[in-house]
Structure 1
Amino acid sequence: MNSVTALVLANLAVALGATVQTATGLGFAMVAAPLLALISLQLVPGPMLLINLILSLLMLGTERSSINRSELSILFPTIAAGTLIAAAILTSISTELFGVVFALLILISVVASLFTKPISLSSANLAAGGFLAGLMGTISGLSGPPMAVLYQHEDLQKTRPTLAVVFSFSYASSLIALTVTGQFDAELALDGLKLLPGLLLGYLLATKYRGLVSQTTGRVMMLSIAAFGSFILLLKWL
């Protein structure tokens, strides 16, 4: 990513995603992923996973007291399983097919977030959500949608710290898997670090004005941007 224009646009996309996720606990990848992919497929999933990991760690540092460890004990191993399978899949698909799969995953995520009824946080549902988070997170950088389906009707103040831990683990696992399979290296890591200004801008804005962004407003913003961006991306690669 050598173009100044591309770098500025990518940082704006990251700032928007970071604002939504810091305010609501979810949404960075669904907002930023399709926009970053339109700028350059090189920015997903690796560089975006790196910047999202940093954001999750920032969020974790402010709200540790409400972490639900019993849920984490189910989510962690299933996320790891999904991550391993996704890494194997990525080694066997072309760039063109990746672009199509990437866009379709986002659109499916939007539909699921809109029409899925509230579900209980049972062990089976947590395990399924964790597996899908690992699978989708490694392929597209989107660990959030399965977690959104699980937690979208739970209390925001209680779930945000747990989600920060889940995302930190998921993104770290995905980056390790991508590195081992040769799909993430120092050059891509540098591309991710170039997005730090946008990340910090979005994080600081949301931290300062968090009370002005309701969960409903953040959700509408997240799904609208995700649907539009992924639709344009799908047209680009079909």
Structure 2
Amino acid sequence: MSAWGFAAIAATVVLASALQASIGFGIGMLAAPVVALVDPGLIPGTLIMVATLVTLMVVVQERQEIDLHGTGWALAGRVPGTIAGALLLASLPERGLAIMLAAVVLTGVVVTSFGWIPLPRRRNVVLAGAASGVLGTATAIGGPPMALVWQRNAGARLRGTMGGFFLVGSLMSLAALAATGAITGHTLAAFAVLIPAAVIGYGLSRGLNRILDPKRLRWLAISASTLGAVVLIARELLTMGG
């Protein structure tokens, strides 16, 4: 990886970590398209490790606000979803993964952009947890299903509950990826050098939570995610044409 490539990934991780810590999700949607353009080998392992670190810091800060009941049912769905996601990743070629990743980002953008608010009933929470497990393990983008079902929450309640779910869920995903051989020395080394970027992003979120409207921050993330996904698709199409 070139110095410019690393700088692009590090800068994106700072912004994505700030978003994750501010609204409870977004690190995959915002960072995955950029990382896929620079070094596809870091997806999903390295991004899930970064997300785990950020959510750990969020959970420590917002631990009193976690909805343990809702988190438990979501994790019940995450277990089979995680296994399915690991198997899907193992069967996908690199180009297939890139196209799937871009499609997941764009689908997440559409889902989180509209005003549909499903009731956070047990069935819906379990189904969202399962979808998050599949997508989060295969592409590192597991936020949109949970953001959809928990969007009635706000502020610390949303950050804490999403953080609690993603902390345990990300550890599940990492275990499944390790079992299938998707965690390598390269992904571990990249995570190690990106730790400062994740910590800086978390620190930045503390200021963002005080001065920025979460809705505006969310729309900024949606716009950036859309641009990244479109660029990724364009690159794959041009490569195929060449």
> Would you tell me which structure has more helix in proportion to its own residues?
2
2:204 aligned partner, one-letter code: L
Q: State how far apart, in whole Å, the 1-side matches of 2:61 and 2:12 are.
A: 24
Distance 1:195 1:12 in 2: 10
**TM-score between both structures, scaled by the size of structure 2:** 0.94
Matched, 1:235 2:234: yes
Please, what is the CA RMSD of the aligned residues? 1.2
Instruction: Tell me, in whole angstroms, the C-alpha distance in 1 between the residues paired with 2:153 and 2:118.
Output: 10
For residue 6 of structure 2, what is the aligned residue in structure 1?
A: 7
Q: Which ranges in structure 2 are unaligned for 5 or more consecutive residues?
A: 238-242
> 1:46 Cα deviation (Å)?
0.5
What does residue 220 of structure 2 align with?
A: 221
Amino acid at match of 1:71: G
Shift of 1:191: 1.0
Aligned length in residues: 237
TM-score (norm 1): 0.95
Report how far residue 164 of structure 1 moved: 0.5
User: Which amino acid counterpart does residue 226 of structure 2 have in structure 1?
Assistant: A
Q: Is the 8 A contact 1:11 1:196 kept in 2?
A: no
Partner in structure 2 of residue 145 of structure 1: 144
Structure 1, gaps ≥5 residues long: none
Shift, 1:153, TM fit: 3.2
* Runs of 4 or more consecutive aligned structure 1 residues displaced over 4 Å after TM superposition: none
Instruction: State the match for 2:159 in structure 1.
Output: 160
- 2:191 pairs with 1:182: no
Letter in 1 for 2:21: T
Go from structure 1 to structure 2 and tell me whether the alpha carbon gap of 1:209 and 1:109 turns closer, same or farther (over 3 Å shift).
closer
Q: Is the 8 A contact 1:51 1:193 kept in 2?
A: no
* One-letter amino acid of the structure 2 residue matched with residue 140 of structure 1: T
Offset from partner CA, 1:133-161 (integer Å, 9 cap, x none): 00000111011111111122322222211
In 2, are the aligned partners of 1:143 and 1:170 still within 8 Å (CA)? no
Equivalent residue number for residue 85 of structure 1? 84
8 Å Cα contact 2:22/2:159 also seen in 1: no
Query: Which AA in structure 1 matches 2:127?
Result: A
Q: Aligned letter for 1:147?
A: M
Alpha-carbon separation, structure 2, partners of 1:81 and 1:193: 29
Counterparts of 1:202 and 1:75, CA distance in 2: 26
Map of 1:97 onto structure 2: 96
Contact 2:23 2:158 in 1 (8 A): no
Mean CA deviation greater in 130-139 or 109-118: 109-118
2:1 is the counterpart of 1:37: no
Other-structure match for 1:199: 198
What one-letter code is carried by the residue in structure 1 that aligns with 2:75? F
**CA contact 2:150–2:158 (8 Å) conserved in 1:** yes
Moved more, 126-135 or 86-95: 86-95
Q: Do the aligned residues in 2 keep the contact of 1:82 with 1:132 (CA within 8 Å)?
A: yes
Indicate the residue corresponding to 1:16 in structure 2: 15
Letter in 2 for 1:5: W
